[in-house]
């Protein structure tokens, strides 16, 4: 087994767990770590080598994947106390598949490079459904040779891999995608609530949207199964969505782009996340709008 067939994986949550399962199914040997005990147990049960820390997961690997909540946590997992970078060999490659902040990713890349470690950003879209089916979309940023080196690993988890530019470019486009996605979901939920107040059947509204120009990914795959059903469990936390839109809004600000819709979306999702708590799914934006739609400016 060549070294690149042994992969370290830190962050075995809603996405990382099925992604690592697909790596194992593709005959990679996966050394995994997560803080949470249920994630550890589920990873061991699916055939992964469970390690006691991120540093232990990185031992003996030349490719280390992170699938963690945000940039600060990725940085701490790599460079903090007992960080994984200390266990990586000179020439190793870190693949940050989390939805991190692009400018922080560039800074992290510079710091890792001083230790002889390369970094690419390779965030994903497709949600839990495609993480399970191994059909994610990856948007990768970094040196072409490093992306090429990661391809066998990425191909085991994804149907499509876009090389989108220099380090941080993947994280930038991911944050921008999630802004567009969140705006589509919030707009659709607002339409449902106004239509309902008018006496329309919400399922009929969804059918009309999906046969009309208002159709988007949320109207297509989220409204009926996760909103109208009342389950609100699509598998992507509202706090993570709020973080992604904040990342996009911060990027716009840093670049001097004044985007009113983006600013408003960042504020709306932040308020919804604070109101509904850390366990809320992003599809619960409908509940927030239903309860407080007269209070959102």
Which residues of the shown chain bind ligand NAD in the complex (CB under 6 A)?
Answer: 10-16, 33-36, 39, 54, 67-69, 73, 76-77, 98-99, 124-125, 127-128, 235-236, 240, 244
Residue of minimal CB distance from ligand NAD?
A: 13
Q: How far is the CB of 109 from ligand NAD (least distance, A)?
A: 17
Q: How far apart are CA 182 and CA 277, in angstroms?
A: 18
Q: How far is the CB of 54 from ligand NAD (least distance, A)?
A: 6
Which entry of 174, 222, 224, 278 is annotated as an active-site residue?
Answer: 174
Output 15 or 88, the one with its CB closest to ligand NAD: 15
Output 205 or 234, the one with its CB closest to ligand NAD: 234
Q: How far apart are CA 236 and CA 272, in angstroms?
A: 14
Is 174 part of the annotated catalytic residue set?
yes
Q: How far is the CB of 12 from ligand NAD (least distance, A)?
A: 6
CA-closest candidate to residue 120, choices 83, 85, 92: 92
Output 67 or 205, the one with its CB closest to ligand NAD: 67
Q: How far is the CB of 238 from ligand NAD (least distance, A)?
A: 11
Output 15 or 50, the one with its CB closest to ligand NAD: 15
With 0-12 CB in 10 A as exposed, 13-18 as middle and 19+ as buried, what is 204? Answer: exposed
Residues 6+ apart with CB under 8 A from 277: none
Distance of CA 114 to the CA centre of its chain: 27
Burial 103-127, CB ≥16 within 10 A → b, else e? bbbbebbeebeeeebbbbbbbbbbb
Answer whether 224's CB lies under 8 Å from 234's CB: no
Residue 141 neighbours by CB distance under 10 Å: 29
Which helix or strand (DSSP H or E) is residue 7 part of? Answer: strand 6-10
Which helix or strand (DSSP H or E) is residue 93 part of? Answer: strand 93-96
Place of tokens 């490719």: 63
Extract the tokens encoding 241. Answer: 């969505």
Q: How far is the CB of 120 from ligand NAD (least distance, A)?
A: 15
Active-site residues: which are they?
174
């Amino acid at each position: 087994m060549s070294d690149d067939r042994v992969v370290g994986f830190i962050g075995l949550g809603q996405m990382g767990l099925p992604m690592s399962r697909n790596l194992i199914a593709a005959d990679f040997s996966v050394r995994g770590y997560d803080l949470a005990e249920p994630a550890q147990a589920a990873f061991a049960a699916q055939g992964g080598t469970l390690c006691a820390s991120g540093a232990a997961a990185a031992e003996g690997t030349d490719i280390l994947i992170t699938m963690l909540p945000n940039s600060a946590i990725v940085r701490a997992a790599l460079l903090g106390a007992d960080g994984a970078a200390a266990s990586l060999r000179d020439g190793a490659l870190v693949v940050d598949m989390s939805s991190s902040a692009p400018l922080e990713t560039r800074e992290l890349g510079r710091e890792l490079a001083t230790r002889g470690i390369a970094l690419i950003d390779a965030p994903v879209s497709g949600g839990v459904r495609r993480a399970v089916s191994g059909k994610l979309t990856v948007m990768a940023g970094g040196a072409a040779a490093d992306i090429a080196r990661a391809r066998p690993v990425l191909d085991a988890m994804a149907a499509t891999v876009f090389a989108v530019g220099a380090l941080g470019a993947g994280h930038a486009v991911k944050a921008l995608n999630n802004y567009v996605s969140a705006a589509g979901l919030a707009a659709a939920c607002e339409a449902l609530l106004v239509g309902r107040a008018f006496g329309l059947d919400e399922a009929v509204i969804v059918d009309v949207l999906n046969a009309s120009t208002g159709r988007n990914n949320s109207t297509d795959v989220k409204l009926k199964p996760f909103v109208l059903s009342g389950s609100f469990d699509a598998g992507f936390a509202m706090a993570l969505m709020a973080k992604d839109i904040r990342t996009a809004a911060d990027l716009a600000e840093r670049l001097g782009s004044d985007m009113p819709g983006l600013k408003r979306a960042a504020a709306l999702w932040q308020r919804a996340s604070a109101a509904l708590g850390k366990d809320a799914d992003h599809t619960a934006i409908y509940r927030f709008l239903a309860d407080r739609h007269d209070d959102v400016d």
